[in-house]
A and B are shown apart, each in its own frame.
Chain A
Amino acid sequence: MAIPTGTLPKEEVRLSKEEVLRYSRHLIMPEVGLEGQLKLKRARVLLIGTGGLGAPLGLYLAAAGVGHLGLVDFDVVDFSNLQRQVTFSTGDVGKHKTAAAKARLSGLNPTIQIETFETRLTSENALELFRDFDIIVDGTDNFPTRFLVNDACLLLGKPNVYGSIFRFEGQATVFGYPGGPCYRCLYPEPPPPGLVPSCAEGGVLGVLPGIVGSIQAMETIKLILGSGEPLVGRLLLFDALGMRFRELKLRKNPACPVCGDHRTITKLIDYEEFCGIRGEEAPPMTDGIPEITAKDLKARQDRGDDILVLDVREPHEYQICNLNGKLIPLGELPRRVNELDSSREMVVHCRSGKRSADAIQFLQKAGFKKLLNLKGGVLAWADEVDPSMPKY
């Protein structure tokens, strides 16, 4: 079944001579042909996120001739994005991602229309943004937006081509397909913040979003063409290290609050509250945690004060840069706490201050009193004390 696409009457969409040549390798395939290529040209696809997953999505969908692409992102290109977000060039650093992506994709295919939305997706704007598109592709990087995209797609009856990644593992499926399951059928609730070890275990192999985003692009094109077997009711798991694909059955949950028999969610909610957080950019919980700035720590060390510096990052992070502190990764702290002397004053740090705040809360419960959190972590040290130290 093809997802109905576009608002233009069929007869008004044609291919120019140049487009026939451009898409000739599609046109000579019976599975696409002229009819399929016209479906692609009429299609309107909205990409949520132009980052790691959005890069191959944008490139392949533009190249394939999807006639109208929408790009939603609020972010600017950062130097650390270039390792995986292959839409962007070094010269794009500092530019808005939607603008840089539009320039790149228009260069690739000037015959398509690209609409940019330089905004964060919210409960207030999601329905309005989604309404004019046929298919929504979720390439975001956080739980609140995942649930928001799911619920908005279901309320509007639009398919949601889903992909997500973690280090070297990926998941992909199509939610919101007529009769198929949704994200909440799979995961009724998000993990509480802090329980999923995303910080210390963060990072992603640059090729991984390329593969998972390409799978999403393939599924999007199949939905438009109505050909093949869509990835509906199946969760594709990809393990890049083992180089294995596995497939699990996804079933529609009759008790699902948004697509089940007795729906309790009939409008968009506050997804950050639902996920127990107040925004991605929210400062870490530092209430009641005494802090020290990098400058003050340096001054006290220079003065000869006896301070133990405890680094709660991972060993591979320690190799990138360190403050000569004692290394005990946050995850190992509970069983290695006896290595620490509670009578000494201790400054705990991580990369930016979040993990060290968690470590201090743990140590406070374990009876430690002389604790200070290095405000802003090694990043602040690099900014305020030692500009030669690499940041990551």
Chain B
Amino acid sequence: MAVKVLIPTPLRQFTGKQASIECNAATVGEALGSLTGSFAELRKHLYTEEGKIRSFVNVYLNDEDIRFLDKENTQTKDGDTISIVPSIAGGSTEQK
């Protein structure tokens, strides 16, 4: 299934600045696997060392949180959009 994965600003530095990536995947997990396969540095930002999606990163299939669907086994169909939504805290971000 051809799906689009939207990359949030904080993680674009690991995808060569690309804001979205197209890939073929039958499930959300496959799409994320394909993504971290192409961009290895992204992996530790999305997954724990045990291979679980980090709890401060949410993954949506279209407008639904996959935690309330079939998690990473959620099936995709052509034209679906997967969004990675990390927590951001800024109100007036300062550099360090």
Contacts and interface: CB of A to CB of B under 8 A. Distances in A.
Interface of A: 49, 51-54, 80-81, 84-85, 139-143, 146, 163-169, 171, 186-191, 195-204, 209, 235, 237, 242, 246-251, 253, 284, 317, 331, 334, 350-352, 354-355, 392
Contacts of B9: 166-169, 201
B43 interface: no
Contacts, number: 131
B82 to A, nearest CB: 12
B63 A187 contact: no
Given A235-B85, A248-B85, A84 B94 contact: no
A355 B95 CA distance: 10
B23 to A, nearest CB: 20
Interface residues of B, number: 32
Nearest to A251: B68
Contacts of A197: 10, 13
Closest 3 CB pairs of A and B: A51-B92, A141-B91, A52-B92
Contact of B93 (A166, A186, A334, A354): A166
B65 A251 contact: yes
A186 B91 contact: no
A249 B19 contact: no
A94 to B, nearest CB: 17
A191 B86 contact: yes
Interface in B1-54: 8-10, 13-14, 19, 41, 44-45, 54
A261 to B, nearest CB: 15
A351 B96 contact: yes
Contacts of A81: 92
Nearest to A139: B91
